[in-house]
Structure 1
Amino acid sequence: MFGPGILRVVLASLVVLSHTSGIKLGGVAVIAFFILSGYWVTRQYDLKYRLETSPLRTFYLSRFLRLYPAYVVALVLAFAVRKGFGLPYDPDWPQALPLLGVATHSHDLLGVSWSLDLEMQFYLIAPLAFPLLKRGAFILCLIALFTWIGFQIKEATGLATVFIYIASFGLGALIHAWNLTFSGYHAAIGIVVALLILIAFKIGFPGAPEIAAEARFGVEGAGPTLFVGLMLVPLVGWAVRLPSGRFDRYAGDFSYSLYLVHYPFFFVIRKMAGGEIGDIGKLAMIAGAFAFAALFFLVVDRSAEKWRASYIRGLRRRAEAKQA
């Protein structure tokens, strides 16, 4: 059954396809990921972390530990494999270890870390912005203002901040804060509108703005990609209200592993192949990426997640004991 976890796998698969084919929908898929993140993080903070004895500490630690351990393992593994096989690598890759700042300096062996940088930035501001979400139209004005500020900062200083894409995170947050509901019909309309806009940008008129395949931070590509991606708000709003069983939750968690490891996996295969890879080879490469992601998910991500859950439970018990 389709659910939010399956949607995450579909979006991660679109990113995979954007790195192997002419189907360049990876940037739009990343925007949908940001909308999902805005919803889930806001919902978790509101219904769970906000009620903790130490809400900010627990929230920040939990979000950091969900994102960072698997990221570091994937990054170090990507370097070790390239080094071990004598493949080229960015000598400044250690700058990506802190994660924050990758979207600005782009020293990234994973090819997708810029978006995780933005995720981390969003985690930092989410609890602070939470009280503003019930302010009606005022919050929409703030979202528009900070989007403009984000583009101005990027243009003037080169710094890539979460504010460029704050509309995607913010509208996702409002799905929860305003209890917005969307039907499958609304989701279908959103997808059709997004596709029509993509077609118009692609063939509709001369000089149409470029849709960034990876939604990177060239100001020229980020704006149109964001615009198209926001058409998927109804899709996300519909999916998050669907039942999510154990399989769906595992699928959603698996999407993170697929997102992390597919790009360095493709890089190594291409370099070792030493030439152009045909369509059959690309299909085999995609299948291999899914298989490797499944292994990474079971060995690395699940272990990190179990440790995180245990650590946060212990943190709660200690905080409650002090309170008592």
Structure 2
Amino acid sequence: MTLANAFGPGFFRLVLAGFVMLSHISALNVGEPAVFVFFMLSGYWVSLMYLNKYAHHPQPLRVFYLSRFLRVWPSYAAAVVLSILATGLVTGNTPYQLLAGLPLFGVASHGLDALNVSWALDIELQFYLFLPFTLVAVRVWSPWVVITLSMLGAVVGWWLYLTIGLKTVLCYLPMFAAGMLLAIRDTTFSKRFVTLSTLVFIIVIAVFFANDTLRAFFIKTRPSPFNEEWMTMALMLLLLPFVAWNVRQKSGWLDAHFGNLSYTVYLLHFPVIALVTKLMGGGLTPTEKLILPLAVAVVSVFFYSIVDRPSEAFRRRVMKKQFGKVPA
């Protein structure tokens, strides 16, 4: 097995989910950067998926929306319900009000988030909703026009959020747009450029940690000297060449499982961490915190086996029937 195959796209997504988990068991602010890279990857993979598969169906919007709904929502809904019930069992106080987050749309704005990470799934669904229409423009406009408009869209998005509390996909449009451009323009970089740009990214992050003022950007307990979302987008876009390289690596059956498992880890890690911490009496020492990733891993694999995999198998059967109706 080569290094490229060992670090395939699926394993990369699992690593990103691990960073989100690390953010919730430590003072390190590394979860949001990982989510932003997820947005970039979504822009790439879902655009490619739509163009190569769903765009050729007689009813592309219907089958695309159905497919994305069946991939995201059933496992999400199961995780939300289980989290609420488990919280009630452990604490004696069942937060039924968090069931309001089940529709998923709007969670990023109203904050009724049983999993504490559902806001990003809300943004993802909004992206799916508008993707077929934005693809038309992205395929025609120059990359510089797309980048400029995505940045203007982000300005509008953050203005909406800061003025009326409405958080939309516009806030993170540059990340999605970067992934879309990778897919549509079939952008590639030389191995030397990927290596150098990744090294630059590592050096920049090291500089942030080495400087007492800049370090606050990655430490949740200290006020950041920057707007965190804008700075995070800028920093993560430095990884664009690496992402362009990674998405083109071969993915075998194990890497595919890693990629699918990343969704389960993302969904369940915070409720598991919160409940295990509560059961252990809170105030865990660094050594005691080592049990948290293990607990997340065990619960995630179990949930993946009995909930997420059967749900994905059902989605595939539904899609097979949908495409089976299409004349050759």
CA separation of 1:27 and 1:47: change in aligned 2, threshold 3 A: same
Q: Does 1:68 align with 2:73?
A: yes
Equivalent of 2:258 in 235, 251, 255: 251
Which deviates more, 193-202 or 126-135?
Answer: 193-202
User: Does the Cα contact within 8 Å between 2:197 and 2:238 map onto a contact in 1?
Assistant: yes
Q: How does 1:116-135 map to 2 (within 5 A)?
A: 116-134=121-139, 135=141
Normalising by structure 1, report the TM-score: 0.91
* Corresponding position of 1:216: none
Which runs of no fewer than 5 residues in structure 1 stay unpaired?
A: 214-218
The separation in 1 between residues aligned to 2:194 and 2:297, in whole angstroms, is 27
| Corresponding residue number in structure 1 for 2:3 | none
1:89 and 1:32, CA in 2 relative to 1: closer, same or farther beyond 3 A? Answer: farther
Shift of 1:131: 1.1
Structure 2: gaps (5+ residues): 1-5, 221-225
Report SS of the residue matched to 1:109. coil
Distance 2:262 2:236 in 1: 19
1:83-141 superposed Cα distances (whole Å, 9 cap, x missing partner): 12235554420221100111111111111100000100000011010111121132222
Larger mean CA deviation between 224-233 and 242-251 belongs to 224-233
- Counterparts of 1:152 and 1:144, CA distance in 2: 12
Q: Does 1:145 align with 2:185?
A: no
1:110 aligned residue (98, 110, 115): 115
Shift of 1:2: 1.3
Letter in 1 for 2:240: V
The size of the alignment, in residue pairs, is 316
Provide the residue aligned with 2:186 in structure 1: 179
Is structure 2 residue 55 aligned with structure 1 residue 46?
A: no
When the two chains are superposed, the root-mean-square deviation of aligned CA atoms in Å is 2.1
Aligned to 2:276: 269
Cross-structure match for 1:97: 102
Matched AA of 2:309: R
**TM-score under structure 2 normalisation?**
0.90
Q: Is the 8 A contact 1:53 1:316 kept in 2?
A: no
Are 1:222 and 2:229 an aligned pair?
A: yes
Measure the CA separation in 2 of the matches of 1:183 and 1:224. 26
The farther-off stretch of 260-269 and 142-151 is 142-151
Partner amino acid, structure 2, of 1:103: A
Cα gap change, 1:167 to 1:256, in 2 (>3 Å): same
Q: Is the 8 A contact 1:31 1:230 kept in 2?
A: no
Measured in 1, the distance between the counterparts of 2:31 and 2:232 equals 10
Question: Residue in 2 aligned with 1:78?
Answer: 83
Secondary structure, in 3 states, of the residue corresponding to 1:278? Answer: coil
1:229 deviates by 1.7
For the residues of structure 2 that align with 1:88 and 1:183, how far apart are their CA atoms? 55
Tell me, yes or no, if the aligned pair for 1:27 and 1:212 is still in contact at 8 Å: no
CA change 1:63–1:212 in 2 (3 A) is farther
SS at match of 2:227: helix
Q: Distance in 1 between matches of 2:96 and 2:184?
A: 44
State the alpha-carbon separation in 2 of the partners of residues 270 and 205 from structure 1.
31
- Shift of residue 194, structure 1, vs aligned partner: 3.5
The residue that corresponds to 2:223 in the other structure is: none
Question: Residue 226 and residue 90 in structure 1: after superposition, are their counterparts in 2 closer, same or farther (change >3 A)?
Answer: farther
> Offset of 1:189 from its aligned partner?
3.6
Distance across 1 between alignment mates of 2:15 and 2:214: 31
CA distance in 2, matches of 1:75, 1:302: 17
Instruction: Tell me the secondary structure at the aligned position of residue 25 of structure 2.
Output: coil
Tell whether the 8 Å contact from 1:209 to 1:224 is kept in structure 2 after alignment: no
Identity percentage of aligned residues? 34
Contact 1:49 1:55 in 2 (8 A): yes
- Whichever residue aligns with residue 260 of structure 1, its letter is L
* CA displacement at 1:199 relative to structure 2: 4.6
